[in-house]
Structure 1
Amino acid sequence: MVLDKLANASRYTSMHPLFEQAFRFLQESDLMALPIGQRAIVGRDLFAIISEGKGIPEQDAKLEVHRKYIDIQYVISGTDHMGWKDLAQCSPPNDPYTEERDAAFFPDKTSNWFDVPAGSFTIFYPDDAHAAMATEDTVRKVVLKIAVG
C-alpha cells in the first residue's frame, strides 16, 4: 500500500508498466470536468472510474480486495478516510470473490485508518484489503484500475 501526493507520482512509475500512463492521466486531465462513470484509457488494462458522493460511517465500511486489478485511488476534492489491512491477516471473506466484480469483501474491521486529502492518492495491490469512503465529506475521486499482469 502506498499513500502520497500526486506531485510525487514519478517515484512510482517503475512499479508497473502502466503506472506512468495512469499518473499522466491524473496530471493532464481536467478531473473536475470529467463526467461520473467509467472512462477507458488503455482498454480494460487501464481505465478510470470517476465518482462523487458522500461517505459512510467508519463502522459501515467494508474491507475489499481485488485479484485482477491494482487500484490507484486519487482524491480530487474532499478528504477520503480509508482503512487498510494485510490480506494475510483477514478472516475468510463473508462475500466471496467473483470475477465479474473483481472483488471479495471481508467481515474484518481495521484499526489502520488514515485520511487521503485532495491531491493525494493511494495504491492498493491485490494483497491490500482496503476500505474507502469512510468519511462525512462529499468526495470526488478517480479510481484507476490497472491490470495486474
Structure 2
Amino acid sequence: MVLDKLANAQRYYTLHPLFEKAFAYLRDTDLAKVPTGVHEIEGRKLFAIVSEGAGVTEQEYKLEVHRKYIDIQYVIAGTDHMGWKDLAQCEMPNDPYNEARDAAFFPDKTESWFYVPAGSFTIFYPDDAHAAMVTGENVVRKVVLKIAVERK
C-alpha cells in the first residue's frame, strides 16, 4: 500500500509498466470536468472510474480485495477516509471473490485508518485489503484507476 501526493508520482513509474500512463492521465486530465462513470484509457488494461458522493460510516464499511487489478485511488475534491489491513491477516470473506466484479469482501475491521486529501493518492495491490469512502455524509470526488496485474 502506498499513500502519496500526485507531485511525487514519478517515484512509482517503475512499479508497473502502465503506472506512468496512469499518472499522466491524473496529471493531464481536467478531472473536475470528467463525468462520473467508467472511462477506458487503454482498454481493460487501464481504465478510470470517476465517482462523486458521500460515503459510508465506520459502522458500515467492508474491507475489499481485488485479484485482477491494482487500484490507484486519487482524490480530486474533499478528503477520503480509508482503512487498510494485510490480506494475510484477514478471516474468510463473508462475500467470496466474484470474478466479474473482481472483488471479495471481508468482515474484518481495519487496523490502520488514514485520511487522503485532494491531490493525494493511494495504491492498493491485490494483497491489500482496503476500505475507501468511509466519509459518512462528507462528499468526495475521486477517480479509481484500475491497472491490470501483470502475470509472469
- The TM-score bracket by the shorter chain reads over 0.9
4+ long deviations beyond 6 Å = none
CA distances 1:33-80 after superposition (whole Å, capped 9, x unpaired): 000000000000000000000111112110000000000000000000
TM-score by length of 2: 0.97
CA distance in 1, matches of 2:56, 2:14: 34
Give 5+ residue unaligned stretches, structure 2.
none
Give 5+ residue unaligned stretches, structure 1.
none
CA distance in 1, matches of 2:12, 2:55: 28
* Secondary structure, counterpart of 1:58 in structure 2: coil
Question: What residue is the counterpart of 2:146 in the other structure?
Answer: 145
TM-score by length of 1: 0.99
CA distance in 2, matches of 1:84, 1:22: 22
The amino acid of 2:80's aligned partner reads: D
* Percent identity over paired residues: 74
Give the length in aligned residue pairs: 149
Question: What residue is the counterpart of 1:67 in the other structure?
Answer: 67
